[in-house]
Amino acid sequence: MRVHEFQARQLLAEAGVPVPAGGVATTVEEAVQAAQSVFASGGAITVVKAQVHAGGRGKAGFVKVCKSVDEARTAANFMLSNRMVSLQTPPEGLEVRRLLVASGVDIAKEFYVAVLTDRSTRRNVLIASAEGGVDIEHVAATRPDAILKRPLDPVTGLHPHMARDIAFRLGFKGKTVGQAADIFLKLARTFIEKDATLAEINPLVLTPATAAHPDGQVVAIDAKFTFDDNALFRQKQVHAFFDPAEENASEIRANEFGLSYVALDGTIGCLVNGAGLAMSTMDIVKLHGGEPANFLDVGGSASEEAVTEAFRIILSDTRVKGVLVNIFGGIMQCDRIARAIIASAKAVGFQVPLVVRLEGTNVKEARTLLEAARGDIPTMQTAGDLTDAAMRIVAAVKG
Amino acid sequence: MSILIDGSTRVICQGITGSAGAFHTKGCLDYGTQMVGGVTPGKGGTKDPNGLPIFDTVHAAVKATGATATMIFVPPPFAADAILEAADAGIGIICCITEGIAVQDMVRTRSLLDDRYPHCTLVGPNCPGVITPGKRLPDGKGFTGGCKIGIMPGYIHTHRSDASTGRAVGIISRSGTLTYEAVWQTSTLGIGQSTCVGIGGDPVKGLNFIDALSMFNADQETDGVILIGEIGGQDEIDAGRWIQKHMKKPVAAFIAGRTAPKGKRMGHAGAIIGGENDTAQAKMDSLRSCGVIVAESPADLGSTMARALGMVGAAV
């Protein structure tokens, strides 16, 4: 599950990590008030940042450094009245509903730090780099030695000596070593306690030396957290961060029925059981010249109602020009799918071509049922194997 | 021969009174698996509908039945603890079918298994289980001598002695239904299966490709191996390198998710493309460079294996 930057900041602040003062605004007026309070407390600049679940905000003009309340007003007005389009958003962009208006921070140096689970070592690992503020994947690809990795103990987590070691190796000096190490410890603890799958601070900033802080100070400027869906049952606070407005409505509806659905941009709707087979079905559609409209795994124990709902979701996508059903019945019984197809033909109606490929548990009963219902579902074809099914649906959609 | 399990394996089910546990205990019994009991805390001393004894703890079940393997259907919040309970009771093969266990639970559990219970083999979680096919009974109504621990449809599998080519392959897969597809296609081509292992779709799990490959490499009844991977992580790439160095038998592979978009979780918790190297295409290229024959289409799992086995006459 993804959360907004301001929510990630809240978790960091609660854990004791220093973050610049700031407020969340949903209107231009609120943004102006937040900016006023930044300037009133002695800040020289304020940063207005769109809160959306997508990256590329800076380049899209949805992160603005403002030197006056008027500039903040202009920035807030622009962000709340335009959709944000970046490489990471759909082509039509995302609506911006919230802004983070934070106090600006002077920067002497930017760092990167994150905690995530490394699958190959099966350990949580802290990753840090003295080259922060930029795309970390780019640093990893071009200068792998610029990235430090420190595995956490699977049972006890990150120890202070590990955190200090990382701080020294990143080049922190004097009092900032302790500040940085403390942030690493708190980030690692938050990652584990909140069942995060990614806890990232980028950039982590060292401020310039001042009379009060001759070594500078270490502050978290931007944070990105994602969480383990499987652990939400025990993470009430994180679960409450869920923002349905940021997610695809069909994906949420599918979820409520126990279906796993991901919308894509092709024309062939796919209904499959099992995640691996569902991905493979998309692949074989593409291999034969079609474009999948979605990933949809109905799972092993979906009811007839859930499968009918799955058809409803697929057919509600106006780009869908045909539907491919591919079921290898194990736990899922093919006759249940057949009954759902027949029920959906009545409840939803198949205006577009439908190709059905069934194999496995109770396949004979299922074929008999579909054969008997053929007159009611004129757009339906049945397929012998996977290749036959893919070729039929691609031909039907093109035809 | 086979790997991990065979007709002599004695199996219990943890979570035997739940609906999935009860349904699949019956399925395993029907296949000919030696199911010897089950565990549900608080229901010890009772029997399941098949007459199997139910125990409060895995320790008690092992003591009374001599179980050597377990099949876990315990709900996700309690499943990691169920794995550790089985390990602590001395169970050697732990198949965890449960889907939806939190990643951090598995990080801790896997580490504890490695450190304190090195005798244990965990398969899964979030997997269809393991099956060593039995021979078809003369009346065609069932199987004998095999062992099915999990949720796969038993009847699609073929014992080597029932396979028209007399060959049998091992199957290792991150996906359940795609495994059935591979089994179905090989059976249709007259190729049997020695053992099929569903290693599961989670990012942190037990048995991995290399562990199973090394077992199949040593198994005399396995003529080749089908490896079914998917997007996410780099286990397939590591497996390819291992195959190049150590594998004495032909390997055919398929990687699901060539059309998957970046950053989206595709059903399985482990199936999300992160960097450049965990795309399906990168994995296919890497496996090919290591001498593995990679199927372009999931419809060619069986025929690609046949080709790798050198079965020129096969309908490929």
The pTM for the full model equals: 0.92
Kindly tell me if the per-residue pLDDT of B246 is higher than 90. Answer: yes
Record: contact A230-B178, CB cut-off 8 A: no
A281 part of contact set with chain B, CB < 8 Å: yes
Given a contact cutoff of 8 angstroms between Cβ atoms, the answer to whether B156 and B180 are in contact is yes
Residue B16: both structure tokens together = 């035997």
Beta bridge partners of A2: A226
Residues 312-351 of A with CB under 8 A from B: 328-331
Residue among A391, A382, A392, A399 at smallest CA distance from A288: A391
Q: Which residues from B are below 8 Å from A192, CB to CB?
A: 104
Of A226, A221, A240, the C-alpha closest to A198 is A226
Q: Does A231 touch chain B (CB under 8 A)?
A: yes
Structural domains of chain B, ranges and CATH numbers in brackets: 10-123 (3.40.50.720), 158-308 (3.40.50.261)
Contacts of A136 in chain B (CB under 8 A): none
The whole-angstrom separation of Cα B104 and Cα A195 is 7
Residue A100: burial class (beta carbons within 10 Å; 0-12, 13-18, 19+): buried
Please write the tens of the pLDDT for every residue from B138-151.
998 899 999 999 99
Using the 8-state DSSP alphabet, how is residue A347 labeled? H
- Inform me whether the pLDDT recorded for B272 exceeds 50: yes
Q: How many angstroms away from the CA of B228 is the closest CA of chain A?
A: 9
Residue A131: CB atoms within 10 A of its CB come to 17
- Residue A16: which H helix or E strand, with range? none
**Is the Cβ–Cβ distance between A336 and A304 less than 8 Å?**
yes
Cβ contact A323:A389 at 8 Å: no
- CA gap B111, B117 in Å, rounded: 10
Q: Do A230 and B269 make contact, defined as CB atoms within 8 angstroms?
A: yes
Report chain A's terminal Cα–Cα distance, integer Å: 40
- Dihedral sign, CA of B155, B159, B164, B170? positive
- Is residue A215 a contact partner of residue A173, using CB atoms and an 8 Å limit? yes
Smallest CA–CA separation between A224 and chain B, in Å?
14
Question: How many CA atoms are closer than 13 Å to the CA of A381, on its beta-carbon side?
Answer: 19
Q: Alpha-carbon distance A383 to A12, whole Å?
A: 54
Task: Quote the ipTM score.
Answer: 0.90
From chain A, pick out residues whose CB is under 8 angstroms from the CB of B200: none
- Closest-CA residue of A relative to B24 is A331
CA distance B14 to B280: 35
Q: What is the mean pLDDT of residues B284-307?
A: 96
Element housing A122 (H / E)? none
Across the interface, which of A275, A278, A284 has its CB nearest the CB of B299? A284
Indicate the pLDDT class of residue B316, thresholds 50, 70 and 90: very low
What does the pLDDT profile of chain A (399 residues) look like in tens digits? 999 999 999 999 999 999 999 999 999 999 999 999 999 998 899 999 999 988 889 889 999 999 999 999 999 999 999 999 988 787 888 999 999 999 999 999 999 999 999 988 899 999 999 998 777 878 888 888 899 999 999 999 999 999 999 999 999 999 999 999 999 999 999 999 999 999 999 999 999 999 999 999 999 999 999 999 999 999 999 999 999 888 888 889 998 998 999 999 899 999 999 999 999 999 999 999 999 999 999 987 788 899 999 999 999 999 999 999 999 988 788 999 999 999 999 988 899 999 999 998 889 999 999 999 999 999 999 998 999 999 999 999 987
The answer to whether B180 contacts A122, with C-beta atoms less than 8 Å apart, is no
Residues A283, B258: C-beta atoms closer than 8 Å:
yes
* Spatial contact of A326 and A310, defined as CB atoms under 8 Å apart: no
Query: For the CA atoms of chain A, what is the radius of gyration?
Result: 26
To the nearest whole Å, the CA of B241 is away from the closest chain A CA by 14
- CB-based contact, A245 to chain B, within 8 Å: no
CA dihedral B107, B278, A57, A244 (to 10 degrees): -60
Chain A residues near residue B254 by CB distance under 8 angstroms: 280
In angstroms, rounded to a whole number, what is the distance separating the alpha carbons of residues B279 and A292? 18
Least CB–CB distance from B176: residue in A276, A282, A361: A276
Q: Do B104 and A231 touch (CB under 8 A)?
A: yes
Mean predicted confidence (pLDDT) in B211-222: 97
Nearest residue, CB atoms, B266 vs list A117, A262, A285:
A262
Alpha carbons A10 and A8: distance in angstroms, whole number: 5
To the nearest whole angstrom, how far is the Cα of B270 from the nearest Cα of chain A?
9
Contact B269, B220 (CB under 8 A): no
Which DSSP string corresponds to A243-275? -GGGS-HHHHHHHHTT-EEEE-SSSEEEEESSH
A360 touches chain B (CB under 8 A): yes
The answer to whether B88 touches A100, Cβ cutoff 8 Å, is no
**Tokens 């093969």 map to which residue?**
B93
Q: Which residue of B has its CA nearest to A226?
A: B263
A230 and B269 in contact (C-beta within 8 Å)? yes
Of the partner residues B174, B204, B231, the one whose CB lies closest to the CB of residue A117: B204
Residue B273: the pLDDT is 67
Residues 6+ apart with CB under 8 A from A145: none
* CB contacts < 8 A (A, B): 180
Q: Residue A59: enclosing H or E segment and its boundaries?
A: helix A57-60
Q: Which is the catalytic residue, given B24, B157, B159, B268?
A: B268
- A203 prior amide bond cis, ω within 30: yes
Relative to beta strand B167-173, strand A63-66 is unpaired
Residue ranges of A 367-396 with Cβ closer than 8 A to chain B: 385-387, 390
Residue B98: name the closest of B211, B14, B208 by CA.
B14
Q: Residue B100's closest chain A neighbor by CA?
A: A230
Q: How far is CA B151 from the centre of its chain?
A: 10
Question: Which member of A5, A95, A193, A200 is catalytic?
Answer: A200
Q: Are strands B191-198 and B251-256 parallel, antiparallel or unpaired?
A: unpaired
Pairwise pLDDT comparison (B44 vs B234), residue with the higher score: B44
Catalytic residue at B268?
yes
Tell whether A156 lies on the interface with B, counting CB pairs under 8 A.
no
CB contact under 8 A, A300 and B107: no
Residue A301: list chain B partners with CB under 8 A. Answer: 20
Q: What are the Cα distances from residue A351, in Å, to A103, A191, A336, B194? A: 56, 48, 22, 46
Contact flag A279-B233 (C-beta cutoff 8 Å): no
Find residues 259-278 of chain A whose CB sits inside 8 Å of chain B: 260, 262, 264, 272-278
Locate the chain B residue with the closest alpha carbon to A298.
Answer: B267
The pLDDT-based confidence of B27 (bands split at 50, 70, 90) is very high
- The chain B residue lying nearest A266, using CA atoms, is B259
Instruction: Read off the pLDDT band of B275 (50, 70, 90).
Output: low
Q: A202 with A114: CB under 8 angstroms?
A: yes
**pLDDT at A281 (0 to 100):** 95
Confidence (pLDDT) at B265: 77
| A122–B110 CB contact, under 8 Å | yes
Cβ contacts of A279 on chain B, cutoff 8 Å: 175, 230-231, 256-257, 259-260, 266-267, 271
Task: Give the pLDDT band (50/70/90) at residue B312.
Answer: low
- The number of C-alpha atoms within 13 Å of A374 and in the hemisphere containing its C-beta is 8
Q: Sort strands B135-136 and B143-144 into parallel, antiparallel or unpaired.
A: antiparallel
